[in-house]
Amino acid sequence: MSDPNRKAPDVTDTVSSTRPAPPPVALVNPANRNEGAPRGDDEQVLRLEDVNIFYGDYQAVRGVDMTIGRHQITALIGPSGCGKSTVLRSLNRMNDLIPGARVAGRVTYHGEDLYAREVDPIEVRRRIGMVFQKPNPFPKSIYDNIAYGPRVTGMRVSNMDELVEKALRRAALWDEVKDKRKQSALALSGGQQQRLCIARTIAVSPEVILMDEPCSALDPIATSKIEDLMFELSRDYTIVIVTHNMQQAARVSHRTAFFTAEVDEQGERHGRLIEYDTTNKIFTNPAQKRTEEYITGRFG
């Protein structure tokens, strides 16, 4: 491991993570890994330039500019309804599936405009996967859940069993499910289901994984497992996570973007990006008053 502060998740430990529980208000991460681009990886994977997102006539998000670095965990935080999920979905064109949703401005992936006419959204989603708030395994076996992505995307897989095993291992789920791969995924616990969803996403070898409040439906133990997993995955993947849990953002992310909803002259509410910086800076010395108020719990 390149980073001494990162603890390797112990995949054999099925009961609980050995990581101590966070202090009640862990605004300053004691073991802060988050010095900007920690591993000399400052290549930009995604870039948003003046992004405005609409649902029909309603503008949900206004004027967002940010860049997302390679192999970093970027957290989007802010009060509910400020457009975090909306921004996240714009990164892999999941907004296309919502009738009336429209993205204006530029979202680029390695310099390529994601919304250019000739871009195939299917291809975008293969490279930029997504994990949802509520675990949503297919009502099929564990094995088929993972094999589904490679199958539908036409990946040439010489040995599917091996691929399934690798994905399960990578998602720290193998030891718990290796004997019941042919059983229904719906029999798993919530935390296991969510790790299965991560394994399923990994199976198509995306470069970026978007996570929309992946732990909000889970108990603390399952949450800490997913957080461990995120550290581990950030070595190979770029992760963007929406979370309403500030401690979680402080614990896991390298950079944090703080969003909030602002009321404009016409009295309409729009989500805006207020501050975006290293997680350390956001949580110890935010430049904006609103950020400080939010992270200290005085508003939101």
Partner 1 sequence: MSTTSTPPASHAANPRHRPSLSQRRSRPGEVLFKLALQFCLLVAFAFLVALIAFAVIKGWNRLDPRLWQEMPTGAASRVARAGVQSAITGTLWVIGLTAAICLPIGIASAIYLEEYADNTRWYNRLLELNIQNLAGVPSIVFGILGLGLIARVIGLGFTVITAAIVLSLLVLPVVIIASREALRAVPRSIRQASYALGATRWQTTWRQVLPAAVPGMSTGAILALSRALGEAAPLILLGAVTFIRFNPDSLLSSYTTLPIQIYNLIKEPQAEFQELAAAAIVLLLVILLALNSAAILIRNRFQKRW
Ligand X SMILES: Nc1ncnc2c1ncn2[C@@H]1O[C@H](COP(=O)(O)OP(=O)(O)O)[C@@H](O)[C@H]1O
Residue 74 in the binding site for partner 1 (CB under 8 A)? no
Give least dist CB 86 to ligand X, A. 3
CA dist 237 and 91 (Å) reads 15
Residue 164 in the binding site for partner 1 (CB under 8 A)? no
**Quick one: tokens of 273?**
């990006």
Alpha carbon separation from 128 to 23, 113, 157, 166 (Å, rounded): 33, 14, 20, 19
Alpha carbon separation from 18 to 27, 40, 63, 265 (Å, rounded): 21, 29, 42, 51
Work out what residue 86 binds among Mg ion, ligand X, partner 1, none; the CB cut-off runs from 5 to 8 Å by kind. ligand X
Which of 27, 148, 160, 284 touches partner 1 (CB under 8 A)? 148
Stretch that binds partner 1, among 118-126, 223-231, 248-256, 263-271 (CB under 8 A): 118-126
Work out what residue 126 binds among ligand X, Mg ion, partner 1, none; the CB cut-off runs from 5 to 8 Å by kind. partner 1
**Quick one: tokens of 43?**
């290549």
**Nearest to partner 1 of 19, 134 (CB atom):** 134
Residue 138 in the binding site for partner 1 (CB under 8 A)? yes
CA dist 230 and 222 (Å) reads 12
**Quick one: tokens of 155?**
């990946």
Are the CB atoms for 68 and 240 separated by under 8 Å?
yes
Are the CB atoms for 233 and 170 separated by under 8 Å?
yes
Characterize the bridge pairing of strands 208-212 and 128-131.
parallel
Work out what residue 271 binds among partner 1, Mg ion, ligand X, none; the CB cut-off runs from 5 to 8 Å by kind. ligand X
**Nearest to Mg ion of 103, 164 (CB atom):** 103
Work out what residue 92 binds among partner 1, Mg ion, ligand X, none; the CB cut-off runs from 5 to 8 Å by kind. partner 1
By CB under 5 A, the residues from 46 to 85 that bind Mg ion are 85
Work out what residue 129 binds among partner 1, ligand X, Mg ion, none; the CB cut-off runs from 5 to 8 Å by kind. partner 1
In 3D space, the residue among 205, 208, 210, 174 whose CA is nearest the CA of residue 192 turns out to be: 174
- Amino acid, single-letter form, for residue 8: A
- DSSP letter for 184, please: B
Per CB under 6 A, residues contacting ligand X are 55, 60, 80-86, 98, 271
Work out what residue 295 binds among ligand X, Mg ion, partner 1, none; the CB cut-off runs from 5 to 8 Å by kind. none
Residue 24 in the binding site for partner 1 (CB under 8 A)? no
Give least dist CB 229 to ligand X, A. 22
CA dist 29 and 33 (Å) reads 8
Binding mask of the shown chain, residues 169 to 188, with x at each position contacting partner 1 by CB under 8 A:
---------------x-x--
Task: Tell me the three state secondary structure of residue 263.
Answer: strand
- Amino acid, single-letter form, for residue 104: A
Give least dist CB 99 to ligand X, A. 8
CA dist 263 and 20 (Å) reads 41
**Nearest to partner 1 of 41, 96 (CB atom):** 96
Q: How many CB atoms lie within 10 A of CB 82?
A: 25
- Binding residues vs partner 1 (CB under 8 A): 92, 94, 97, 99-100, 122-123, 125-126, 129-130, 132, 134, 136-139, 148-149, 152-153, 184, 186, 197, 200-201, 204
- Binding residues vs Mg ion (CB under 5 A): 85
